[in-house]
Chain A
Amino acid sequence: MAINREYAGRSFAPSEPYEVSRIKIADFADAIGDPSPIYRDRAAAQAAGHPDVIAPPTFAIVISMAGSGAAIGDPGLGINYAMVVHGEQRFEYTRPIVAGDVVTAQATITDIRDAGRNVMVTTSTQIRTIAGELVCTALSTLVERGGAGA
């Protein structure tokens, strides 16, 4: 099934509120092999000038995927997930994600274009606190290999 180009420009509903926990941040830091105490120990994080335990920069993907998943997983878009690889990723941060933040992620498909036999789908996802503060914007380009030949 080919990707539906009419999805370019479409915005999706924000994800359900997600509460960032210290445990989840520590699990993520373990999984990427980063032993820094600012991801685990509130006192160490505060000694370094942070309000609480902060998340590693790429933790933002965990939250942004909840928003961009609504776009990429939309059956009407018709993406074949087994053929998908990550093309580009960019984050713009207003501040670090901090334990205790309650955030949502809201995605827009900003571009769908062919690159040879592949199709590239770009999403822009805003991570905001439930009070509306913009914490991070995540720009992702996913590549469906062979998608242009479908």
Chain B
Amino acid sequence: MSEQISYADVEAGAELPQASYPVTRLSLVKYCGASGDFNFIHWNERIAKSVGLPDVIAHGMFTMAQAGRYVTDWAGPSAVVTEFGVRFSSMVVVPDDDRGALIEVSGQVEEKLDGHRVALALTARSADTKVLTRARAVVQLP
């Protein structure tokens, strides 16, 4: 379990350490099952290409989940997320090989709010392209 951070320890403007999360075809199949989103474009290359995509793409929500994990890993187990929003600016293309793709997340403390809440500005990239923009989370810390 990650360590618990407290509101008093947080400084506005502080950069959070970057983290990378792998995504493979197996990740997407598992996410299909766990989420109930079986859209063909997340697991069927033939259909993905037939509708004009470069290859199978990750669920936007899988990418958002990695950004969420980044937030909760930083904030610690007692933190509570009160707001979380993203714009999906580009697709995470997941090739059919053993490496898959990487989602790289970075963040910064945007501001300290009342009620022990902290706003974080997040960025996620894959293959040198921003895949999440306007990504922001608010967490309530002890």
Contact = CB atoms under 8 A, between A and B. Distances in A.
Interface in A95-128: 95-96
A88 B88 contact: yes
B77 A36 contact: yes
Contacts, number: 122
A57 B85 contact: no
Interface residues of B, number: 48
Residue of A30, A31, A37, A45 contacting most chain B CB atoms (<10 Å): A31
Nearest to A38: B77
Contacts of B47: 82
A28 B72 contact: no
Nearest to A69: B36
B136 to A, nearest CB: 9
Nearest to B81: A57
A89 B37 CA distance: 15
Interface residues of A, number: 39
B62 A32 contact: yes
Given A36-B77, A82-B51, A56 B82 contact: no
Interface in B54-102: 57, 59-62, 64-66, 68-69, 71-73, 76-78, 80-88, 91
A49 interface: yes
A48 B33 contact: no
A57 B60 contact: no
Interface of A: 27-28, 30-34, 36-38, 44-45, 47-50, 56-58, 61-62, 65, 81-93, 95-96, 139, 145
Given A33-B69, A57-B137, 13 more contacts: A30-B34, A31-B34, A34-B65, A38-B1, A45-B77, A48-B77, A48-B78, A58-B61, A85-B41, A85-B88, A86-B88, A88-B86, A89-B60
